[in-house]
A and B are shown apart, each in its own frame.
Chain A
Amino acid sequence: MSTPFLSFGGVIAGYGGGDVLKGVNFSVESGGVTSIVGPNGCGKSTLLKTVSGLLKPRLGSITFKGESLVGKTPKAILQMGIVQVPQNHSLFREMTVRQNVELGAFLIKDKAVVAARYEKVCELFPVVSERAADRAGALSGGQQRLVEFARCLMLEPELVLLDEPSMGLDPKTLRAMFATIKTMNAEGRTVLLVEQNARQALKMSHKGVVLENGVVRLSGSGIDVLNNPEIAALYLGGSITHK
């Protein structure tokens, strides 16, 4: 068997006294979009944090192309090509939009490379060039979200971790966002995302993982998860058949 791209083996993790993840097992194939869905508080965001190194699992293994991520610093994990866009707004409010986006490339010393990537990112996210000189804090919540996305692409990561990318986006921007995820994926980036907007996320996903109470309840193709009547009733707001 070939080495899985990203693999979780019996991952147990939490904060303070309690475990949020209680033994998570699944793997992510290279080149796909994988969506993690589940109720509020089931451990979705926690799982992403264990990958990006923001939270160290108490037990279990996480490997990226065969190499263990457990115990590595967030910076080391970033250097391996894994970038996370967090759920909470994370821009530096007093810095300009452009400065924020350029910070995403802080590992790259070559200014010409940074400038070229900035241009590319501006094409994908017009809001970045339109508001480049404005304080990030002056942007609306939804616009800040887009800038965070732009920032994450500056390192041209192999694996992108997105924690609720659709949150706070208006319908038009939301569609553009999902299209951007597809574009990112088509460019060869593997995407692992957590989404409450589960219907739309699963529809565009190669794989869906349902997390419940800190364990994987179900995994399969995005469509299979979407069409599972029990999952639909519990987390997707009722059953609708998708093809």
Chain B
Amino acid sequence: MSFLLEAKGISRAFGGVQALNDCSLHVEKGSIAGLIGPNGSGKTTLFNVITGYVRPDQGLVNFAGEDVTNARPDEIFSKGVGRTFQLTRIFGRMSVLENMLVATQRDESWLKGLTRSMSSASEVDAAMDMLEFVGIAKLAKLQAGSLSYGQRKLLELAYVLIANPEVILLDEPAGGVNLTLINEIASKIRLLNKEQKKTFLIVEHNMEFVMNLCDSVTVVNQGHTLMSGTPVEVRADKRVLDAYLGGGEEEEN
């Protein structure tokens, strides 16, 4: 079985807190995988380990058959692993479009990136297309710092997509986004998955979003993998109900 992305036996402590404790996860090529778990269970830390922002105390990360455990964030990014953050990271004093143009520079050397003065018309077009795709094209000329929280999340999504990574890690893409837009984001993810064969790993608390979208779901609890399975299996698992979903009853909606 070949996994595009695999984390094996990851442990990591911060001070006295064991954020991850023998945590494992794998993502099949071309799939949409979900990662869920209670607040504080280590989901974001696992993202940070996979993308090189945090080094694990123990364990291995493989991407496309290559050991990337101790690679730097930029190395992992240039191999084709893109991510968004729970709290958005954008250049507030630059326009929305300029933020996008920064993200198009993945394939060039840093010197070229620094010395060129203009982005080509085709880069601008591609950036505008992507902003259109996430529904914020009309904000292109605004300072990114003036966007609302939800709009920043959409900009960050566009920002990651335009770098054209093979696997895309999304940290709470639906958080702070209105319900109609959440449905649109879900259909966009599905489209990218179907047509461009993009692989996704998504952390999200919106269960409707996760269960409708994901092919497989991994549940972490207290830094450890509780289980992995299809959304149906996860939903029915008593341990998941106790640790995460709570109560056992369906949300009436």
* A contact residues vs B (CB 8 Å cutoff): 15-16, 18, 37-42, 44-45, 87-89, 134-135, 138-143, 145-146, 164, 167-175, 196-199, 233-238, 240
Beta-carbon contact of B151 and A171 below 8 Å: no
- With contacts A45-B149, A89-B87, A238-B183 taken as known, whether A173 is within 8 angstroms of B177 at the C-beta atoms is no
Query: In the complex, what distance in Å separates the CA atom of A39 from the CA atom of B41?
Result: 31
Beta-carbon contact of B180 and A170 below 8 Å: no
Query: In the complex, what distance in Å separates the CA atom of A98 from the CA atom of B147?
Result: 33
A-side contacts of B150, CB under 8 Å: 40-41, 196
Beta-carbon contact of B38 and A170 below 8 Å: yes
Query: In the complex, what distance in Å separates the CA atom of A206 from the CA atom of B180?
Result: 23
B-side contacts of A142, CB under 8 Å: 38-40, 205
B-side contacts of A18, CB under 8 Å: 146
Beta-carbon contact of B179 and A141 below 8 Å: no
Q: Which of A37, A235, A240 contacts B253 (CB 8 A)?
A: A240
Beta-carbon contact of B40 and A139 below 8 Å: yes
> Is B37 interfacial (CB 8 A cutoff)?
yes
Q: Which of B43, B149, B179, B244 contacts A164 (CB 8 A)?
A: B149
* B contact residues vs A (CB 8 Å cutoff): 14-15, 17, 36-41, 43-44, 86-87, 139, 143, 146-151, 154, 172, 175-183, 205, 207, 244-247, 251, 253
A-side contacts of B183, CB under 8 Å: 237-238
Beta-carbon contact of A171 and B87 below 8 Å: no
Query: In the complex, what distance in Å separates the CA atom of A45 from the CA atom of B253?
Result: 26
Q: Which of A16, A41, A175 has the most CB of B within 10 A?
A: A41
A-side contacts of B36, CB under 8 Å: 170
Beta-carbon contact of A196 and B179 below 8 Å: yes
B-side contacts of A170, CB under 8 Å: 36-39, 205, 244
Query: In the complex, what distance in Å separates the CA atom of A164 from the CA atom of B174?
Result: 13
Beta-carbon contact of A138 and B17 below 8 Å: yes
Query: In the complex, what distance in Å separates the CA atom of A169 from the CA atom of B86?
Result: 12
Among residues of B, the one whose C-beta sits closest to the C-beta of A144 is B39
Query: In the complex, what distance in Å separates the CA atom of A140 from the CA atom of B20?
Result: 12
Q: Which of A38, A135, A196, A240 has the most CB of B within 10 A?
A: A196
Query: In the complex, what distance in Å separates the CA atom of A42 from the CA atom of B177?
Result: 12
B-side contacts of A15, CB under 8 Å: 146
A-side contacts of B245, CB under 8 Å: 171-172
B-side contacts of A143, CB under 8 Å: 39-40
- With contacts A142-B39, A238-B183 taken as known, whether A168 is within 8 angstroms of B172 at the C-beta atoms is yes
B-side contacts of A38, CB under 8 Å: 178
Beta-carbon contact of A138 and B176 below 8 Å: no
A173 → B minimal CB distance (Å):
6
A125 → B minimal CB distance (Å):
12
Give 25 pairs: A residue, B residue, CB < 8 Å, sorted on A.
Answer: A37-B178, A39-B181, A40-B150, A40-B178, A41-B150, A42-B148, A45-B149, A138-B14, A138-B17, A140-B39, A140-B40, A140-B41, A142-B40, A168-B175, A170-B37, A170-B205, A172-B246, A172-B247, A173-B38, A173-B39, A196-B179, A199-B253, A234-B180, A235-B179, A237-B179
A-side contacts of B151, CB under 8 Å: 40-41
B196 → A minimal CB distance (Å):
25
A-side contacts of B143, CB under 8 Å: 16
Query: In the complex, what distance in Å separates the CA atom of A89 from the CA atom of B39?
Result: 15
Q: Which of B15, B44, B148, B154 contacts A138 (CB 8 A)?
A: B15
Among residues of A, the one whose C-beta sits closest to the C-beta of B183 is A237
Beta-carbon contact of B178 and A196 below 8 Å: yes
